């Protein structure tokens, strides 16, 4: 679905991505993980077209992502950010259907899709009439997910969507998100800093450091054959964090 060939991105004189090669398979969940500043969110933003590589090639479904084709390509992608990014002056339902109304969907089509998404995400129907500040953090993330899915995109891109939630709500949403991913069978790319979350969601884990990809595979593969010492150190640090009561 996505192919990156020697993709680099710099901010001033610092390399956020340094010659990244990556193929993201359709219909599977790929998780980008690594320490803060490793380039995982930068990579996700390039996939959604919120920036352009300084060098290298980035293709979506066999076609380059470029300014002239980006509007049409973006309609095939859904995007969820941390804390939802909802418009506070719009009710939850209005946030969800905003792009569908902009594209001229009929009221009946919009309502049918909205009802389907509310059931899929276990969102209460009466909550659609509330404003974001009247909803819990978990409910806001469900609304953001519905908004990302409204146009039935082929790809879902999520940038630490559960990072700001407390552990109990986060656990519940993890279960529901995985159910949604399995039910829809879409291509999913998810950014997280949490190895347990990456393992729970990912068919494939992409471990990054300093703008480079260190290893791609399952957690079991990384434990059995770490590509370099940092892989083993990262896994050990994450496990130690869990044993001390941190994260999910």
**Does residue 40 sit in the same domain as residue 122?**
no
pLDDT in tens, 129-151: 999 999 988 899 999 999 999 99
Rounded CA-CA distance 65/61 in Å is 9
Please list the rounded mean pLDDT of every run of 10 residues in the chain (248 residues).
95 92 95 94 95 94 89 94 89 97 96 95 93 92 94 94 78 88 92 91 95 95 94 88 49
Among 152, 185, 204, the domain-final residue is 152
**Does residue 125 sit in the same domain as residue 192?**
no
Tokens of 240: 């130690």
- Whether residue 227 contacts residue 215, with contact meaning beta carbons closer than 8 Å, is answered with yes
**Does residue 63 sit in the same domain as residue 129?**
no
Write phi, then psi, for 244 (nearest 5 degrees): -90, 10
Q: How many domains does the chain have?
A: 2
Tokens of 87: 């418009």
DSSP 28-91: SEEEEE-STTSSHHHHHHHHHTSS--SEEEEEETTEE--TTTHHHHHTTEEEEETTTT--TTS-
**Does residue 5 sit in the same domain as residue 46?**
yes
Domain that holds residue 138: 79-152
**Does residue 87 sit in the same domain as residue 183?**
no
């Amino acid at each position: 679905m996505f192919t990156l060939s020697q993709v680099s991105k710099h901010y001033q004189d610092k390399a956020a991505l340094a010659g990244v090669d990556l193929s993201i398979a359709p219909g599977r969940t790929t998780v980008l993980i690594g320490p803060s500043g490793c380039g995982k969110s930068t990579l996700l933003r390039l996939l959604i077209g919120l920036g352009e590589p300084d060098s290298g090639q980035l293709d979506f479904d066999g076609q380059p992502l470029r300014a002239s084709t980006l509007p049409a390509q973006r309609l095939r992608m859904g995007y969820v950010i941390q804390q939802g990014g909802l418009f506070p002056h719009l009710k939850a339902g209005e946030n969800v259907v905003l792009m569908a109304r902009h594209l001229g969907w009929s009221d009946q089509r919009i309502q049918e899709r909205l009802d389907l998404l509310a059931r899929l995400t276990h969102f209460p129907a009466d909550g659609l009439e509330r404003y974001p500040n009247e909803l819990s953090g978990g409910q806001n993330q469900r609304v953001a997910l519905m908004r990302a899915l409204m146009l039935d995109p082929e790809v879902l891109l999520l940038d630490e969507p559960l990072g700001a939630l407390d552990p109990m709500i986060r656990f519940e949403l993890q279960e529901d998100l995985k159910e949604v991913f399995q039910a829809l069978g879409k291509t999913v790319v998810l950014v997280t800093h949490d190895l347990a979350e990456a393992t729970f969601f990912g068919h494939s884990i992409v471990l990054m450091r300093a703008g480079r990809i260190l290893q791609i595979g399952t957690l079991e593969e990384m434990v059995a054959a770490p590509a370099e010492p940092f892989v083993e150190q990262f896994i050990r640090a994450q496990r130690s964090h869990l044993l001390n009561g941190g994260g999910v």
